[in-house]
Amino acid sequence: MIRQIVDDVYQIGISVPGKEGHEAVRVYVILNDGHPILIDCGSHLYRPQFMQEMEEVLDGATPEYIFLTHSELPHAGNIKSVAEKWPGIKVIVSNVLLAYIEILPVLPLSQITAVIPGTQLEVNGRMLEFVDALLKDQPGSQWIYDSKTGTLFTGDGFGYFQDESLIDQFSDEIDGGIREDQFQAYHYHAFRFLRWVIPERLGADLDTMFSRRPVNVIAPIHGSAIRHDITTHKNRLKSALANVRSQYA
Ligand SMILES: [Fe+2]
Ligand SMILES: [Fe+2]
């Protein structure tokens, strides 16, 4: 479902039913005054839906960039259709790109750029920053920060399972927002290494990351945008991560 989060930032995507609830798979679209940017490009499994929603939001505009949080198929698998529809699109990837993903065969290498965390890229006067993902399921996973709206796109981080009826709702439209146990269930499955993590250190790094830039919106790929009580939700995630470790123990 297409939903405007804030300003010119839109959330699209589908919901996949699972044992613990529905899991969203998102693409975020930043219209950027005629120079659109896609954050991830969707799963190959739901190509028609992703393409239809992207085209509807873009309303005839040609996207200039895809920024990939990482190269797993739910995030990058739809790139073939995107490349066929918009062959001039440039792709920004993290420093690890797995060869079996569809990127190499479908676009010239000259249109693919690998960046390292800390890189800032200006697109039509808008500054986007690549941030080292604090929760990685691939070594090169990156989060992306849009300075104009204060939106932090967090890839698999901050994901959560949701009831089907609420899957497209933003946090402020849900009584009590996103619960700690929703974050916990998702991160338990998505980040198996959390059993070996010292939660206090990870939590402190999350605090530092959020203190360095104003975050108004958290935009996970496997959830809907969190756009209120940011500190509360960050603290819920911190507790959830500590609980995951206890779960394994
Ligand atoms: Fe992932
Ligand atoms: Fe994912």
**What's the pLDDT at 72?**
87
pTM for the model: 0.96
Q: Whole domain around residue 117: which residue ranges?
A: 3-163+214-225
133: which DSSP letter? -
Q: 26 C-alpha vs ligand 2 centroid, how far in Å?
A: 9
**What's the pLDDT at 104?**
55
**What's the pLDDT at 23?**
98
In a domain, 248, yes or no: no
Q: 72 C-alpha vs ligand 2 centroid, how far in Å?
A: 7
Structure tokens at 243: 């609980």
| 13, 40 contact by CB (below 8 A) | no
Count the Cβ atoms, other than its own, within 10 Å of residue 23. Answer: 22
- Please tell me the total count of domains within the chain: 1
Strand (E) or helix (H) holding 236: helix 230-248
Query: Which ligand has its closest atom nearest to the C-alpha of 133?
Result: 1
Please name the amino acid found at residue 165: S
Average pLDDT over every residue of 150-174: 98
Average pLDDT over every residue of 172-178: 98
In a domain, 243, yes or no: no
In a domain, 120, yes or no: yes
Give the chain's mean pLDDT. Answer: 94
Burial code of 78-89, b = ≥16 C-beta within 10 A, e = fewer? Answer: bbbbbbeebeeb
Strand (E) or helix (H) holding 75: helix 73-76
Q: 159 C-alpha vs ligand 1 centroid, how far in Å?
A: 10
What span, in angstroms and rounded, lies between the C-alpha atoms of 142 and 94?
A: 6
Dihedral angle sign, alpha carbons of residues 61, 67, 72, 74: negative
In a domain, 247, yes or no: no
Q: Helix, strand or coil for residue 24?
A: strand
Q: 215 C-alpha vs ligand 2 centroid, how far in Å?
A: 21
Q: Which has the closest alpha carbon to 194: 137, 116, 155?
A: 137
Query: Which ligand has its closest atom nearest to the C-alpha of 23?
Result: 2
| 10, 2 contact by CB (below 8 A) | yes
Pairing of strands 151-153, 217-219: parallel
Average pLDDT over every residue of 171-195: 97
Tens digit of pLDDT for each residue in 43-88?
999 999 999 999 999 999 999 999 999 988 899 999 999 999 999 9
Query: Which ligand has its closest atom nearest to the C-alpha of 222?
Result: 2
Query: Which ligand has its closest atom nearest to the C-alpha of 71?
Result: 1
Query: Which ligand has its closest atom nearest to the C-alpha of 136?
Result: 1
| 24, 224 contact by CB (below 8 A) | yes
In a domain, 174, yes or no: no
Query: Which ligand has its closest atom nearest to the C-alpha of 223?
Result: 2
In a domain, 238, yes or no: no
What span, in angstroms and rounded, lies between the C-alpha atoms of 210 and 224?
A: 19
Query: Which ligand has its closest atom nearest to the C-alpha of 75?
Result: 2
Q: 60 C-alpha vs ligand 1 centroid, how far in Å?
A: 30
Q: 120 C-alpha vs ligand 2 centroid, how far in Å?
A: 23
118: domain CATH number?
Answer: 3.60.15.10
Q: 156 C-alpha vs ligand 1 centroid, how far in Å?
A: 5
Tens digit of pLDDT for each residue in 128-149?
999 999 999 888 899 999 999 9
Least confident of 37-41, 75-79, 98-102, 176-180: 98-102
What span, in angstroms and rounded, lies between the C-alpha atoms of 108 and 88?
A: 9
| 242, 194 contact by CB (below 8 A) | no
Query: Which ligand has its closest atom nearest to the C-alpha of 25?
Result: 2
In a domain, 35, yes or no: yes
